[in-house]
Each structure stands twice: as C-alpha cells, then as structure tokens.
Structure 1
Amino acid sequence: MYEADACTRALGIELIEVRPGYARLQMDVRPDFLNGHAICHGGLMFTLADSAFAFACNSYNICTVAAGCSIEFLRPVRGGDRLTAEAIEQTLSGRTGIYDIRVTNREGEAVAMFRGKSAQIKGTVIPA
C-alpha cells in the first residue's frame, strides 16, 4: 500500500510501524510546507494524520476507506520540525472503525488530534 501511495511518498512521509489497528508515520516539515504565517500548513498535518489513519485501518488486509474525519490543531509547527502521527484503533465493529491519531512534534508535544471513522469495502490490500 505504501509503494502505491505516490502522495505520501512525495511528501516524504515515512512509514515507521504498522500492526493490526495501529500505525506510526513521520514527516519532516520542509520549507515548502509553510504557509503565509511561516508555520506548517494545516492541510499537510491533516495529510500526515490521514495517512496514519489509512495504514492503521487497512492493517487487517481488508480494503478500508474513510467515512469521515475531523482534526483539531493545538499548536503551531515551525519549519525544520519532525512530526509523528500515531494512529490507534478505538473500536472496530462490523465494517466500521473509529481511530484516534495524535500528531506530535520533535519534543513529543501534541500539535494536532485527528479522529477518523472507517468503512470496510470489498477486496484486500495484499492479494491472496
């Protein structure tokens, strides 16, 4: 799935760990990620969190997509920082899951919280 995700790879997002219901990704905040306030663009923090969500909810080898999500930005992120997104499954019932993703800076401070709702669809991520 990571090899097929051109967007995630183009942004330099690294897949650090994945296991059932869990994923951890990291991203360096490049100069071209900064907005007009000289802080990391919220859309890029969202993308990091969304990617962690995607890997966590697809970790059971069942094709899964987002049914909804939201994010709260907690503190500004400066260029040169390294962000970590840790996705943890909160519940999986039938075809629906809820995942919380905590995005932290290099110091381990929470900079954003993301919650995603997943929906399983037909197919597998890795063909049998």
Structure 2
Amino acid sequence: MSTHVPPVEVPADPQELAQAVGSVMYAGDAATQGLDMKIEEMAPGYARLTMRVRADMLNGHKTCHGGFIFALADSAFAFSCNSRNVSTVASGCTIDYLAPGFEGDMLTAVAQERSLAGRTGVYDVTVTNQDGRNVALFRGRSYRIKGQIVGVPADA
C-alpha cells in the first residue's frame, strides 16, 4: 500500500490562488489563530485581517500592547507576500504607532504590495480601528525562498 499523497491542484486564477494560499496558511498558523485574527480578504499582493482587542492584550496604560498591533500587521504582511504561492519570509520591518487601541476595538490591517522584483518585495500595512482612525503604519520587506504553499504533498 502506497503512502504517497498526490499534490493538491494549484488554481490557475490568481485570485483563487491567493484565497487558497490564505486558507492553507491560516490552517497552520497557530499564532494568528491564537490571537483570534480573521482573514477578511485575500488577493494577489493584498491581505486584509481583523483582530478584536481583548482584555489580555492590554498594557499598564489599559491600551493595546504594541506587540499585539505589530503581530496583526505582521500577519497581514505574511499573508500578502505569500499570496502568489511562493514561500516568502520577512527580511525586515518597521512600525510607527499613531494612536492607541482600546479593549473592544476592532483593528483592521490592510497589507498592500508596493514592489516585487526578483526575490524581494516591499509591503505597506495600515492598521485602523473601527472608526477608520489610523492606529499604526508598518512597512515590511520580504524575501522569497524555495517552495510553495499550495500544491505540495501533505507529507512533504
């Protein structure tokens, strides 16, 4: 009896591929799931994620700890830069905090590809609250490595 698992079919349509990549990545992303982040939209070079600020995310000022805001922006960046089904990692990033997040706020991170050339990319992420107020601006630099997210055997 063979234990070989055939590769999953890779969607030809770029939009369908981005959505498939998002689903596969999310299923294996314990950090994103553990912070109750949700993928609201995926497209080639684009991702929109949301996260509600919980009581256990507050710092000593009773505002959302910057690390959680960073995690949301970083996850949106990760989904965006992997959306074309080429395994991609961060090579660096920066964040500017513009306004506090508070318990109960619904934060939205929108990641957009600004440049993709060869193995490197640049992505901007804007984090806003439910009122549309800018909470943070994040810029990520990506590096493409070997492999893909969709279309590899389960035992690879």
- Alignment TM-score, normalising by the size of structure 2: 0.81
| Deviation string, structure 1 residues 61-90 (Cα, Å, up to 9, x no partner) | 000000000000001111110000000000
SS at 2:26 equivalent: coil
2:57 to 33, 42, 58: 33
More strand by share: 1
Aligned to 2:30: 6
Aligned to 2:99: 75
Aligned to 1:45: 69
Distance (Å, rounded) in 2 between the aligned partners of 1:75 and 1:10? 24
- Alignment TM-score, normalising by the size of structure 1: 0.99
- CA drift at 1:127: 2.1
- Coordinate RMSD, CA, aligned: 0.6
Q: Which has the larger radius of gyration?
A: 2
Moved over 4 A (4+): none
Distance (Å, rounded) in 1 between the aligned partners of 2:40 and 2:83? 14
Aligned to 1:66: 90
Distance (Å, rounded) in 2 between the aligned partners of 1:127 and 1:119? 20
Structure 2 gaps, min length 5: 1-24
**In the alignment, is residue 125 of structure 1 matched against residue 135 of structure 2?**
no
Aligned to 1:84: 108
Residue 29 of structure 2 aligns with an amino acid whose one-letter code is: D
| Deviation string, structure 1 residues 5-58 (Cα, Å, up to 9, x no partner) | 001001100011111000000000000000000000000000000000000000
Distance (Å, rounded) in 2 between the aligned partners of 1:11 and 1:18? 19
Distance (Å, rounded) in 1 between the aligned partners of 2:43 and 2:127? 18
